[in-house]
Amino acid sequence: MRNRSKWLLPLCACFVLTVLPAYAQDDRIAGSVPVSKPSENKHDRAQYSPALQDDDRMAGGAIRKPAPPAPKTQETPDERDGIAPETAYDPPPKKEYTGKVEYAALESHGVYTKSQEGALGRDLWRGTKRSLLIEQIPVLPAQSPYPTMQQLTKRLLLSSLDAGLIKNDVKPSPGNDLTTLRLEKLLEMGAYPEALALYTKQADLPYHDRFARTGVLAAFYDRQPALACLETKAAEKRFAEILFWQQASQACSYILSKASGGKTVRPDIPESKILQRIVDKDNYRFKARSPEDFAELTPLEAAILAAENRFDLSGLKTGEIKELPPHVLILLREQPSLPDEQKISLVLESVRRGLMSAQELGAFYQDQATSLFGKSTKTSLADYKKIGGWKRLPYLFRGFTSASKDEERVVVIKHALALADHYGPDSLLPFVPEIVKLDPSSFDSKTIRSVFPVLLQSGINIPNNWAESRFKELADGNTANAKTTLQYAAYQAGKSSTEEWEQGIDFEKNSEPFGQDKLLALKIIYEKLDKDLKLHNYDDLSVYEKELSLTSAVDYVMPSISLIDGLESAEYDKRLGEVILLSAIVLHNVPPEKLNGVLLRDVINGLVTVGLTKEARSLAQEVILGLSSE
């Protein structure tokens, strides 16, 4: 934890000795901030951001309004619809921080410091205007339809940087610094351990309400209530007039008294029926019957429900999991006890959205196999047939990874593919590193066609023998169907160097199966990734590219011209962070089948220009695979 001995020592002396031992078994107290276990943040009564909330606008909340009228006792219809009434804002604190704020130092902190960790470089925001960051980071989408952009967004927010390189066209203002904005967005994304790690980089007293709230919420969401309450006790007096801190202080009195083993304190908590029920009844559970129910919670309510394990998801249908925003999805995924079908659905949905890696899914399978079937790695088809539902996945993964012969692995993969029809291709991603080691001649053509999209989705370097087996018909000069042609395009787009590109797709010959929209997508991708124009069947698109759209859909609204112009300007000047920021914004909620050609061109071109060629290729693959799955 941070070095705050100057002002926390008297508090810790009485606090640690009586309370923290109760949490020692968690092994995650103040001295340790893990970045491995995401938990989900329930921000706002508006189901969109942990940074803005209703009754007590969370840390990321907009500027506080002057003293509100009468306090509210229940939610209004507007709140239930995700609209936060102005009267819900807390008044500004009367006791502002009087110390000097070193904004350059505060804003330069990051969790990722090395490129191997995902750091984007300390010149990340060189030349970018502060006014743009203040305006655009809050609207940065918490969830992208493209896993590549999701990961880039996370790296953007967690990278250490040199804040002195930001162009200060406006002065830094209290509570609106770059680190506070990043923290609020990380909470909205459900990146709770990472947000907590970034928060604890600041060694000094939290200088502002918004900044302090992010740390308290991140700790609660990460299920570290002792740490959250330590931060609360440190800040509560300075922000005593604000409802959030009043509620947090009283809730912590209950949490800490219960952890100490003595008499449980059950204080009155102002203006929150949920928190009052938590305090009054140890067996109280918040039962959600639909995704909309979570939107009715304030960030603090959701955080303490998570820390106290008070969510009851028995009323939530498995099919509704796809509707959950990322911060809710991750929060629920980390619940200690969940119905089996809900658990696997939450995990696989996280993988599908790029919120959980294939390696993490493989570890989940291994843990589940040990929990369900013991430590023995011996498996058999006879035992497999006795297992039902999703539990077959961890059983097959154990059998696949422990098999001593390729013949055994081939059998396992065929059974796993049958499960993928129900659980989705994402469920097979942990199998991929071993699949590509197998000889494709061991599989029939139907199995190869089923496996290949999973190989493409994994981003792994696909061996030539697998590609040759999948695209034999193209090599023979035949006209392939649309799916085969698009998968071939995705395979070529993902190659690490244009030196390896084959002749590519005969665009005119293969355009008829999938139409002009997808043809244009492929041409744009090939133009922007093949900078040296090595494809000798390539036709220049620059003359008519802006006149064409990848889609004729009428339900998509183009981003503002200023955003598109801003992206092109950032690309021209090679402003790395700005290219990622604006690319993520213009691609928000735009699936491949609705992606406009101008945007696709500008985003891929921008990523390549600032040196993110690998990411540009991954994004291109995701777009093409999305088109092939229509």
What is the mean predicted confidence (pLDDT) over 59-66? 32
Check pLDDT > 60 for residue 602: yes
309: left (phi over 0), alpha (psi -120 to 50) or beta: left
What tokens does 477 get? 């000069």
Decide if 516 contacts 524 (C-beta within 8 A): no
**For a pLDDT cut of 90, what percent of the chain falls above it?**
60
Residue for token pair 């926390």: 8
Q: How far apart are CA 19 and CA 262, in angstroms?
A: 10
Q: What is the pLDDT of residues 155-193, one digit of tens each?
A: 999 999 999 999 999 999 999 999 999 999 999 999 999
Q: How far apart are CA 578 and CA 569, in angstroms?
A: 9
Which band of pLDDT confidence, cut at 50, 70 and 90, is reported for residue 517? confident
Residue 312's pLDDT is: 92
Which band of pLDDT confidence, cut at 50, 70 and 90, is reported for residue 215? very high
Check pLDDT > 50 for residue 73: no
**Cα angle: 435, vertex 437, 440; to 5 degrees:** 75
Taking the CB of residue 102, how many other CB atoms lie within 10 A of it? 12
What tokens does 321 get? 């999991």
Q: How far apart are CA 487 and CA 457, in angstroms?
A: 10
Q: Rounded to 5 degrees, what are φ and ψ at 453?
A: -60, -35
Decide if 32 contacts 254 (C-beta within 8 A): no
Which range of 52-61, 531-540, 565-574 scores highest in mean pLDDT? It is 565-574
**Nearest alpha-carbon partner for 302 in 46, 64, 26:** 46
Cα dist. 63→93, 154, 229, 379, 558 in Å?
A: 12, 25, 25, 59, 29
Q: Give, as one character, the DSSP assignment of residue 555.
A: S
Q: How far apart are the first and last CA of the chain?
A: 49
Convert 511-526 to b/e letters by CB count within 10 Å (16 or more is b). Answer: bebbeebbbbbbbbbb
Residue 139's pLDDT is: 96
Residue 534's pLDDT is: 46
Strand partners, 583: none
Residue 377's pLDDT is: 87
Q: How far apart are CA 514 and CA 508, in angstroms?
A: 11
Decide if 306 contacts 42 (C-beta within 8 A): yes
The whole model's pTM is what?
0.82
What is the mean predicted confidence (pLDDT) over 98-116? 91
DSSP string, 285-337: -EE-SSHHHHTTS-HHHHHHHHHTT-EE-TTS-GGGGGGS-HHHHHHHHT-SS
200: left (phi over 0), alpha (psi -120 to 50) or beta: alpha
Q: Give, as one character, the DSSP assignment of residue 205.
A: P
What is the mean predicted confidence (pLDDT) over 532-544? 43
**Nearest alpha-carbon partner for 258 in 302, 297, 310:** 310
C-alpha dihedral, 279 to 285 to 291 to 297, nearest 10°: 0
Which residue has better confidence, 232 or 318?
232
Question: Under 8 Å CB-to-CB from 518, ≥6 apart: which residues?
Answer: 482, 486, 550, 627
Residue 15's pLDDT is: 44
Check pLDDT > 50 for residue 80: no
Which band of pLDDT confidence, cut at 50, 70 and 90, is reported for residue 22? very low
Question: Under 8 Å CB-to-CB from 336, ≥6 apart: which residues?
Answer: 309
Q: How large is the angle between the packed helices 326-333 and 340-352, nearest 10 degrees?
A: 140
Question: Under 8 Å CB-to-CB from 27, ≥6 apart: which residues?
Answer: none
Decide if 203 contacts 3 (C-beta within 8 A): yes
Residue 497's pLDDT is: 58
Taking the CB of residue 597, how many other CB atoms lie within 10 A of it? 21
Q: How far apart are CA 364 and CA 370, in angstroms?
A: 10
Q: How far apart are CA 398 and CA 417, in angstroms?
A: 15
Residue 212's pLDDT is: 97
Q: How far apart are CA 69 and CA 85, in angstroms?
A: 12
Which residue has better confidence, 402 or 512?
402
Q: How far apart are CA 130 and CA 12, in angstroms?
A: 38
